[in-house]
Amino acid sequence: MNDAIAGCPFCGTPLQLLDRAISARCMICGERGRARTWCTNGHFVCGPCAASETMALLHELLRQPLSDDPIELFLRLRAAGDNPMHGPCHHALVVAAFLLAYHHRHGEPSWSAIVDVLQTASDQLPGGTCGFWGCCAAGLGIGMAYCAILDSAPTSGPERAAAHQVVAEITRRIGEVRAPRCCRRECLVALQVACELSATLLPQPLSTTHKVACEQADENEECIREACPFF
């Protein structure tokens, strides 16, 4: 079993990354599922239950004043809830930040479309993909956001290609940083690339000028500090 990582959404105690997936019963809904992490108290919380608090937060924030800068929005969303330093909640926050900023700037996609995509992202983008699948789900979240804006489908041509291109570039840029995962760093990379490519891949561009200063370096034992582009 690997070193502990923070923090259990059920009781708040440190999580541990298991060497292999095990069958475990969710402490909230009681359903059994496959777990790669659980806390030192033996708790397991399934994806839908872990995601439900994120969705409640996002629905609340839809009613608050918005910004057209996705990085500013992401950092505000992340700070507004009781989010752990690392975890799959970040993936839905990336989708929310980009789509809400794009809607605020350009009036699309519709609110109903945004909520549908956020629900899907919150339910289906799992944790650990950066280390187990070779692609951070924050990048896949931007792919979902691009697909929503472009109204992409499996039978689409240029729209589908654009989503693949932005996810591929995010994955490449994340891979350039030879370091352990940092959900904050990976999400900021994903949003930065999404803005950079928006001028050529989306109907309207989206930009970010928000100045970033790291607030968690001292708490993150795996922080690469000055080697991080967002330190």
35 domain residue, yes or no = yes
CA distances from 140 to 10, 121, 158 (A): 26, 9, 18
The least confident of 56-60, 141-145, 226-230 is: 56-60
Same domain flag for 150 and 119: yes
Same domain, 154 and 214: yes
Instruction: Give the residue-averaged pLDDT of 91-99.
Output: 94
* Residue range 108-135, pLDDT digits in tens: 998 878 888 988 898 888 888 988 899 9
Q: Report whether pLDDT(143) > 80.
A: yes
116 and 29 inside one domain: no
Kindly indicate the confidence band of residue 20, based on its pLDDT and cuts at 50, 70 and 90: confident
Question: How many other CB atoms sit within 10 Å of the CB of residue 134?
Answer: 9
- pLDDT for 11 equals 65
Judgement on whether residues 112 and 61 belong to the same structural domain of the protein: yes
Residue 17 lies in a domain: yes
Are 9 and 97 part of one and the same domain? no
Residues 6+ apart with CB under 8 A from 97: 70, 71, 73, 74, 77, 191
In a domain, 108, yes or no: yes
- Does residue 5 have a pLDDT over 50? no
Looking at the structure, tell me whether residues 17 and 106 fall in a common domain.
Answer: no
Q: Is the pLDDT of residue 170 over 50?
A: yes
pLDDT band at residue 12 under the 50/70/90 scheme: low
Q: Are residues 32 and 138 in the same domain?
A: no
pLDDT digits (tens, 9 = 90+) for 74-93: 998 888 777 778 888 899 99
Furthest C-alpha separation in the chain: 49
Listed in sequence order, the residues at least 6 apart from 44 whose beta carbon sits closer than 8 Å to its beta carbon are 24, 25, 26, 27, 33, 35, 38
pLDDT tens figures, 36-49: 777 778 778 777 77
Provide the domain limits for residue 196. Answer: 50-227
Q: What percent of the chain has pLDDT over 90?
A: 42
User: 83 and 133 in one domain?
Assistant: yes
Whether 160 and 70 share a structural domain: yes
Co-location of 24 and 123 in the same domain: no
Q: Domain tally for the chain?
A: 2
Same domain, 94 and 12: no
Tell me the torsion sign for CA atoms 194, 221, 48, 77.
negative
pLDDT at 107 over 80: yes
